[in-house]
Structure 1
Amino acid sequence: MKIRHVKDGVFTTVDDVELTTTAPEEGFYWIDADGEDLQILQPLFSLHDLAVEDCLTEEEQRPKIETYDNHYFIVVNSIRFDDEEIFLRALNIFLGRHYIITVTNQKINELRAVKPILWEQEVSEPDRFLYLLIDLVVDNYFTVSDRIEVKIEKLEEDILMHTKRSHLSEIIGLRSEILWLKKMLGPQKEVINILNKKDLRLIDDQLQKYFRDIYENAVKISENFETFRELMGNLREAYQSSIANRANEIMRVFTAITTIFIPLTLITGIYGMNFDNMPELHWKYSYYVVIGIMIVLGAGMYYLFRKRDWI
């Protein structure tokens, strides 16, 4: 557990034995904790049992906001994309009048990235810290969105140029990730909308206007992933079309080869009947003439098919 007193964006480390529920004269406390630390923090700040229970669960958390008498409990999902799988990590936040507690079970980059912003903007209020943190979380969705878009474009190019069976599993996997993420974006968008519209006494009225900008970004992100869902459907159709076209190309080549060999088979069939009255059978050059005719006939048919772009 890391306890910091934040005043004008400047951090001062506080020992846990010095931490009290009494509000500091200026600034606020930022407590970065994990699940085990809640045993100490819950009685100290009267954190609600249900909120603490949600922090301790290892299952994926649905974004939400709960308002209690002396604090708010907010859950948002941070996103990470490693080019193979999308990960959502729950960021649990307790917001009080003079403190903010962030509880995570895994490392979240936004908590590290928010520090220089607090210093740059000389932040001294926990509600403004909340705004900056959620703004970073939502902005990171745009970064992941851009990377997913690049991956989709590359996958589309690979399918059109060199279709492989492995592309289908990539399409199905990425599509399921996008659908799952889009499902989680809905509740998170609603949480931000509540921060934008609902009368919340622990958040300054002027600051609520800034949450409107975050909400608009959340809507854009949701629309982006809806577009990605449609693109994945188009990619699947393109894959199936490419496979069908390749099968047609193969069948066209096989048909052309079969067509070329039909007259050659006819010739060999005629001269394989072993009739006695076949003058060519006893001619000295008959074998070479027949072979030559077959070569010329096969080459001529191949040239004709190539000229007409049949193969």
Structure 2
Amino acid sequence: MIVFQEDRISKAIPGRLPDGPAIIMAAPQESGQAVALAGIVVVPGFPGAEEQSIHFESREDYDYLSLYLPDFSGAEDDAEPLECYLTRERLVVIGGGEVFGRLHRSLETDSSIHRNPVQALALLFNLILVEVAQPLETVDDAIDSLEEKAARRKPEDHASEIIALRKHLAAIKHCFDALYDLLEELEENRNNLFTKNQLQLFRAYKNKINRLANRTLNLREHLTQVREAFQNQLDISLNDTMRFFTVITAIFLPLTLIVGWYGMNLRMPELESAITYPVIIGVSLGFIAISLFFCKKKGWF
């Protein structure tokens, strides 16, 4: 646990916090101690961050925020739960992970934030937006790479990769929607913890989340177009195969007819001639050559 106050940073737990603004950062196992140190009497019944939810509650003397930031690489063990308790002069941040560490480093380097817990909360939201926006760039690059592959004559099947990207974008969109709803509730300012300027700042974050959500939808639409491009190329490849077999059938069907004629147990005078077989072979080869030339000229293969 670490306590940031206007004039000092305390890594040892004080017996009692003096009056004035303070920001308390603690690990999950220290949550009860940190909340008590801030003088907050917790109302039971909150869905904690460990329940994988982004949630906001406004109680009589404090606001509560549960921020569950999933790891978009798919490793659930790396997901980052954060909990925040906010009063007029105190902010308690409980958690661990990348965003928690960045907030810690920012508070250590900028003591002016210590005087304003709401400013520290705004900084936390800014760090969260940076964290959740990064996967969009990775997904965008992956979609561009798939689009280049889809332009090839005979692309490989990338259905599993496309499905994984769609699930990835759906998870990101869900996170943005939850953050947007949280900021909308925070904007109601039921405990009058925020000034007009601070509410405008949170509104700006909400608008940024809305833009990121729209970008996510655009990426999903782009991915759908890439999937259709792959399907079109696969259809073209299938059509080429069917055309090849159709040409082969068209060439050899008349030869099959000739074989059928001369394979019947009927008396055919021309069979008594010595040149009958060479003539039939020549006619068959000539027909094949003419058929191949005609199909090649038409561009059928």
Fold-level match, TM-score > 0.5? yes
Alpha-carbon distance, 1:204 to partner: 4.0
Q: Partner of 1:29 in structure 2? A: 23
Q: Distance in 2 between matches of 1:243 and 1:98?
A: 63
Q: Partner of 2:102 in structure 1? A: 113
Alpha-carbon distance, 1:91 to partner: 2.2
Q: Partner of 1:39 in structure 2? A: 32
Aligned-partner SS, 2:44: helix
Q: Partner of 1:59 in structure 2? A: 51
Q: Partner of 2:66 in structure 1? A: 75
Q: Distance in 1 between matches of 2:79 and 2:297?
A: 57
Would the aligned equivalents of 2:69 and 2:81 in 1 still touch at CA under 8 Å? yes
Aligned CA-pair RMSD: 3.3
Q: Distance in 2 between matches of 1:299 and 1:7?
A: 94
Q: Partner of 1:251 in structure 2? A: 242
Counterpart residue type for residue 24 of structure 2: W
Comparing 209-218 and 294-303, the one that deviates more? 294-303
66 and 22 in structure 1: CA distance in 2 versus 1, 3 angstrom threshold: farther
Residue ranges of structure 1 left out of the alignment (5+ in a row): none
32 and 304 in structure 1: CA distance in 2 versus 1, 3 angstrom threshold: farther
Aligned-partner SS, 1:174: helix
Alpha-carbon distance, 1:278 to partner: 4.2
Q: Distance in 1 between matches of 2:294 and 2:15?
A: 90
Alpha-carbon distance, 1:127 to partner: 1.2
Counterpart residue type for residue 243 of structure 2: R
217 and 77 in structure 1: CA distance in 2 versus 1, 3 angstrom threshold: farther
Q: Partner of 2:83 in structure 1? A: 92
Q: Partner of 1:299 in structure 2? A: 289
Q: Distance in 1 between matches of 2:105 and 2:171?
A: 33
Q: Distance in 2 between matches of 1:281 and 1:150?
A: 74
Counterpart residue type for residue 40 of structure 1: Q
Counterpart residue type for residue 295 of structure 2: F
Counterpart residue type for residue 113 of structure 1: R
TM-score normalized with structure 2 length: 0.81
**How many residues are aligned here?**
296
Q: Distance in 1 between matches of 2:168 and 2:253?
A: 52
- Alignment partner of 2:92 out of 89, 92, 101: 101
Would the aligned equivalents of 1:71 and 1:96 in 2 still touch at CA under 8 Å? yes
Q: Deviations over 1:131-182 (max 9, x none)?
A: 01101111333322222222233334434434555x3343334334433443
TM alignment of 1:145-164, pairs within 5 A = 145-161=136-152, 162-164=154-156
Would the aligned equivalents of 1:4 and 1:30 in 2 still touch at CA under 8 Å? yes
Q: Distance in 2 between matches of 1:28 and 1:39?
A: 17
TM alignment of 1:182-197, pairs within 5 A = 182-196=173-187
Q: Distance in 1 between matches of 2:141 and 2:99?
A: 23
TM-score normalized with structure 1 length: 0.78
Alpha-carbon distance, 1:258 to partner: 0.8
Alpha-carbon distance, 1:268 to partner: 2.8
